[in-house]
Each structure stands twice: as structure tokens, then as C-alpha cells.
Structure 1
Amino acid sequence: MTSRLRASALKLLVLLGVCAQAPAALADAYPSRSIRIVVPYAAGGGADAMARLAAERLQVHLKQPVVVDNRPGAGSVIGSDMVAKARPDGYTLLFNIPALVQAPALQPSVPFDPVRDFVPITTFVSAPVWLSVSASRLKAADFAAFKEEVQKGPARHRLEYGSWGPGTTNHLYGELLLKSLNIQAVHVPYKGSAPAMLALAGGETAFMLVDYITLRPHVESGSVRIMASTGVRRHKLTPDVPTLAELGYPGFESVGWGAFFAPKDTPPDVVAKLQSVIAEITREPQVVEKMVSLGYEPGGKPQAEFAREVHGDLERWRRTIQTIGFKPN
């Protein structure tokens, strides 16, 4: 009897040892087949371009095919929900921007929780947006002059600001700016960043909050001027431009990021491996050069740090949306 008990105990110990080694073995074996990166936006945009850059380098580092799968629709909800419901094995990943954490406050029935249903892996890029004015509509050369002009100048009676759609980051920040300055302006949504930028440069709108890659050629031509940026520190591309936060306007601290997420319950060792490889990619000189040329800063944040940022952004955007009184359709 004692011998049988000892044999059974030995088998149990062996089994427990195998189970304990399983996560490490999974991480060592990962990846053993192709990885899919779901981008919940149409091909050709900024998020898509960054996801494809990441995919190209991940394929080299992981020695497995990495494919980008564009699944646009419903403000990124369709593609994001696909990943939330995918098998948590590290072979289906999400590349998204802050629309992921804005969605629950903007839409009445989002089928996922951006914190509960995803594991934040790391950022790939980040960037603020810049408050910019049409040179043909406003005379202001800096933020103080902009504030004076839109509050007390003749232009205050006919202000319009552009965005690339209701509920987008630059629309939400535009409404927050109106509230912060106690001014009124008509929101003019466009079908994408390119037509919205052309409208600003051509004087159809007076101001807009916009990304640098869209903005740069028009700043260089003199048709648009930069007043301020979002974020908590000045950007390397515009060191002389203050942030709205340093000018005393709270609520503009969040910056845009393009980042990777996995479905909840993805093994921690797999998440750690992905974070490490992506962080390594963001330090490669040719990748950094490409990012900087497009107005982005390289990412690669530690997983825990990025998870805290996602939690913070979720709450900040919820407060912003409540403050401006945005009502979902």
C-alpha cells in the first residue's frame, strides 16, 4: 500500500512539474506559426502605416509571417471586438489608437471593455496633436494672441473648426478648447484628415487640432500657424511651442498612441516576449528615423507602465466627454 502511495505521489509531483514548466515552454515555442495584427481602420491611414512597419520588423525578429488584417468600421469597434473574442494565444493582436478607450463613452453599446477584455502589450509610437490656425483667417502668431482674437476680435463672430469626424480625438479636443476659452465655433467634420487639412489651409475653417505629418507641409508653406500642442511636455519637433497644459488648461494631457493589445488571458510570458521584441524594434535606427519623419516618437514602454497609461486615458477621456456634454448618436 505504501509503495503504491509513493508511486502515485511521485507521478503527481512529475505532473505538477510539467504543468509548472508549461508557460515557459509555451513562451520558448512562441511563435510557431503566422501572427495576425488586426488594424480596425482602412488601409492607407496613419495607424495602418505604423502597423505595417511594425509587422515588417516583427516578421524578421520572430521568424514567422506577420500579416496585417484591416477591419474598419464603427469607430474601430468592429476590429477591436474581433480581437477581444479571439483565442488568447498571442497569434491575434490588435493595433489601435486611443479610440479604443474613447469608445465606451462615445457609443451606447460597445461589446467589450477596453480594460477588462484586453492585455496592453506596449506602445509602438506616440504623438500629440497641435492646435493650428489658418493664416488667412486669423492673425495670431502665438496662443496668447489666438485667445485674444477668438474671444474679443471681430473673428469671434464667425469661427469654425475642423475635424475628421464626430467623436474623433480632434473633435473632442476642439469642443474642450471651446469650453476652456468660453467661446463658440461651428464644428465642421470632414471625411478624413486630408480634406480637413486642406480646408484649414484654404481658410474654410479657422482652427483645428491636428497631427504633425498632416500639418507640416502647410506650416512650411505659411498657410497654417501652430499655437500649442497637447501632452505634458513640449515635442522635440516643436520645442518653442507650449503645451496647453503648461498654459494652464487641464484636460489636454493625453497624447495619441499607436499600440499593441492582446486578448485577455494571453499567457504573461507571451506578452512579455512581444513587449520585448517590439521595444527592440522601436530602438532600431531605421525605424526611429521613419517614425520621427512622420512626427511620431518611438514607443516600447514596459507593459505595466503602458497598462497604467491605458487606465489613466480611459478615465481622462471619460471626464472630457462628460465635460463637453458629447451625446452619442
Structure 2
Amino acid sequence: MRLSTFLRPLLASLIAVGSVFPAAAQDFPTRPVTLVIPFAPGGTAELIGRAVGKSMERHLGTTVVVDLRAGAGGNIGAAHVAQTAAADGYTILLGSASLASNASLMKLTFDPRKDLQPVAGICIVPNILLVSANSPYKTLPDLLAEARRNPDKLTFGSSGPGTSSHLAGELLKAATGTRLVHVPYKGSGLVYQDLIPQRVDMLFDLQGSALANIKGGLVRPLVTTAARRSSSLPDVPTVAESGFPGFENGSWIGFMVRTGTPPDIAAKIERATILALQDPAIRERFATIGAEPIPAPSAEFGKYVLGEMDRWEKMVKEGRLQRAQ
């Protein structure tokens, strides 16, 4: 679905009601807004969040200041917004797929279902399974054949426990019945330092973060976790095409605020986000990294997030994924 097609009817309705916001929303914001990004700089989520935040500035009429609070698979930044930030709209969280999975996989100091309020969806970005350019594995079946011959031999690096790169590896293990060894790092950039010389065998990385190393010939892409091939990497098959129908995974991102934020203020942030998503530069960036739209309006985005939380909770209950001890 094209992003412009998805958002056009919604934009018309939002613009139509823009003049009837209550006084509280008309006064908001009177000072800069802080966007908490719970990931290290340079990653896909950080770059997208920063770009959308910048585009929002002219629609909000104020500066959007980025506050990087990386660590614990995104939990540190999320906990700050859920527990410390005021529920006044001046602190926005860049929520992501790891927040939905961590609700079931990790012991959190907050409850994402109760303490955070979805405001606007942005997009979902697929992961690409990468090996070193010098790796003997040319295809996913090649890699899986080795994994079956030698269980617990092949390793996959990740950005850390609970992150999209970790969960993609765990999903591959569950879908293929193979035993792979997880090696966590503090960010995908550090994984490449060991992936390229083959000290780790593979990495699932978001397409946006992976493109430079792919184009530079340092790594070889085997498959994408998207539902269809990317126009940026048309020769890279999907996992589903490679023998595992229905396999689909990616990292969605969207904006959230602390629960209790006044509805009219949340609505103004929602509107500014949706308008920002129409920025041609944003849409071009999304196309480059293979990003697909997710429900943008707050009500629909909220249902999407709850659905994602339910999906991971079910997998834990079924024993397909293990909760961290």
C-alpha cells in the first residue's frame, strides 16, 4: 500500500477538524518538545525518528529536540517516558517493535499496555539476513543445511536482547527447527566488526542500516523478512520465498506519550506526525529502506500495537520463545 494512498483520506479529515481543537491544544506547544529515541545513533529507527521529528516542527510550531536514551533493547528510554516524563505532550517516545515483544519477554519496571499511549504510527522496516561477503553461504538453504549438520555451531549477532535483530533470529530458529547461538552486542554497528571477518556467522539488520555495507560489498544479503521483495534490493528473496511461507517480520516504529496526556494535545501530535509523513523527503527515505506503512491514526495504531503485544505473548505461552530470566 502506498503511503500517500493510505494517508490522503485521513489528512483531509484532520485538516477539516484542525480549527476546532480545544484551547489547551491551541496553546500547545509553548516550548520545545522532546523526542526520546531509545536507541543508539546511526540506526534506522534513530534516523527515521529524527527525520520525522524535524519535519513535525513546522506543523507543531516549535523545535523537536532529540534525546537519545539507548540501552536494554529500548527499555531505558521507554521507562523514562512511562515513569518519569510528565503526561503533558512535551515528551514523546519513539516506540518500536521491541517494546511490544519486551512486554512478554522481559521483566520491565513499567507496563507498556497501561503506562504508554500510542499516538501515531510511522512505518515498519524489514530485516535483512546478512553474512560476510567471504562467507561460504550463498543462500538461506545453504546456511540452514549447515545448521542442521552442526547444531549450535552457527552464531547470529544482534543489537542486544529483545531487539528486532535478536527476535528475527529467534523466529528463524523457531520456523526452521534449527539451533543457532545468539551473540548479543550493544548495537548492530558493533556486530559488523565481527561479521565481516566471520567471527560471527550472520546478522539480521534493518534494511536501512544494512544498505551501506551491502552496497560496499562487505556483506552478502541472503533474504529479507518482508512480505515482498524491496525495490532497493530486488534480487534478495523473502524468507517465505525460500521455503517458509508466512514468515514475515520487521521493526515497526511510532510515537507514544505517557498515559494521561490530554486527548486534545495527543491529537495535535498525531496530526503533526501524519502531516510530516507526507513530506516528500520522508517518503523517499521510506522507499529507499523498504519501509511500509502501518496504521497512522492513534486509534488504529493503538490496536496495531496491542495486536503485536498479543502476538509475542502467545508465542511465549506456546513455548516458541523463552522469557528472559
TM over 0.5, yes or no? yes
Equivalent positions of 1:135-174 (< 5 A) are 135-140=133-138, 142-152=139-149, 158-174=153-169
More contact order relative to length (CA 8 Å, sep ≥ 6): 2
Q: Which residue of 2 aligns with 1:201?
A: 196
Query: CA distance change for structure 1 residues 167 and 299 in 2, over 3 Å: closer, same or farther?
Result: closer
RMSD: 2.9
| Post-superposition offset of 1:112 | 2.0
Q: Of 17, 24, 27, which residue of structure 2 is paired with 1:26?
A: 24
Q: Which residue of 1 aligns with 2:59?
A: 61
Q: Of 318, 322, 328, which residue of structure 1 is paired with 2:324?
A: 328
Query: CA distance change for structure 1 residues 48 and 135 in 2, over 3 Å: closer, same or farther?
Result: closer
SS in 1 for 2:274: helix
Query: CA distance change for structure 1 residues 304 and 26 in 2, over 3 Å: closer, same or farther?
Result: same
Paired residues, number: 304
Q: Distance in 2 between matches of 1:131 and 1:51?
A: 23
Query: CA distance change for structure 1 residues 132 and 28 in 2, over 3 Å: closer, same or farther?
Result: same
Q: Is contact 2:55–2:279 with CA below 8 Å preserved after alignment?
A: no
Q: Which residue of 1 aligns with 2:93?
A: 94
SS in 1 for 2:172: helix
Q: Distance in 1 between matches of 2:241 and 2:225?
A: 10
Q: Is contact 1:138–1:149 with CA below 8 Å preserved after alignment?
A: no
| Post-superposition offset of 1:240 | 4.3
% identical aligned pairs: 35
Q: Distance in 2 between matches of 1:218 and 1:100?
A: 27
Q: Distance in 2 between matches of 1:98 and 1:251?
A: 18
Q: Which residue of 2 aligns with 1:72?
A: 70
SS in 1 for 2:278: coil
| Post-superposition offset of 1:120 | 0.9
Q: Is contact 2:89–2:266 with CA below 8 Å preserved after alignment?
A: yes
Q: Is contact 2:119–2:255 with CA below 8 Å preserved after alignment?
A: yes
Q: Which residue of 1 aligns with 2:270?
A: 275
Gaps of 5+ in 1: 1-21
Q: Which residue of 2 aligns with 1:307?
A: 302
| Post-superposition offset of 1:261 | 0.3
Gaps of 5+ in 2: 1-19
Q: Which moved more, 1:262-271 or 1:39-48?
A: 39-48
Equivalent positions of 1:181-200 (< 5 A) are 181-200=176-195
| Post-superposition offset of 1:252 | 4.3
Deviations 1:223-248 (A, max 9, x none): 43322222434333234434334556
Deviations 1:139-184 (A, max 9, x none): 32x33444444435xx767422221223322222212312322222
What letter corresponds to residue 203 of structure 1 in structure 2?
Answer: Q
Query: CA distance change for structure 1 residues 300 and 167 in 2, over 3 Å: closer, same or farther?
Result: closer
Deviations 1:197-248 (A, max 9, x none): 2322222222221112332233334443322222434333234434334556
Q: Is contact 1:251–1:316 with CA below 8 Å preserved after alignment?
A: no
Q: Distance in 2 between matches of 1:184 and 1:49?
A: 33
| Post-superposition offset of 1:284 | 1.0
| Post-superposition offset of 1:291 | 4.0
What letter corresponds to residue 254 of structure 2 in structure 1?
Answer: A
Query: CA distance change for structure 1 residues 87 and 302 in 2, over 3 Å: closer, same or farther?
Result: same
TM-score of the pair, normalised by structure 2: 0.80
SS in 1 for 2:22: helix
Q: Of 115, 118, 131, which residue of structure 2 is paired with 1:117?
A: 115
Q: Is contact 2:141–2:242 with CA below 8 Å preserved after alignment?
A: no
TM-score of the pair, normalised by structure 1: 0.79
Q: Distance in 1 between matches of 2:239 and 2:48?
A: 27
Q: Distance in 2 between matches of 1:315 and 1:157?
A: 30
Query: CA distance change for structure 1 residues 54 and 138 in 2, over 3 Å: closer, same or farther?
Result: same
Q: Is contact 1:233–1:243 with CA below 8 Å preserved after alignment?
A: yes
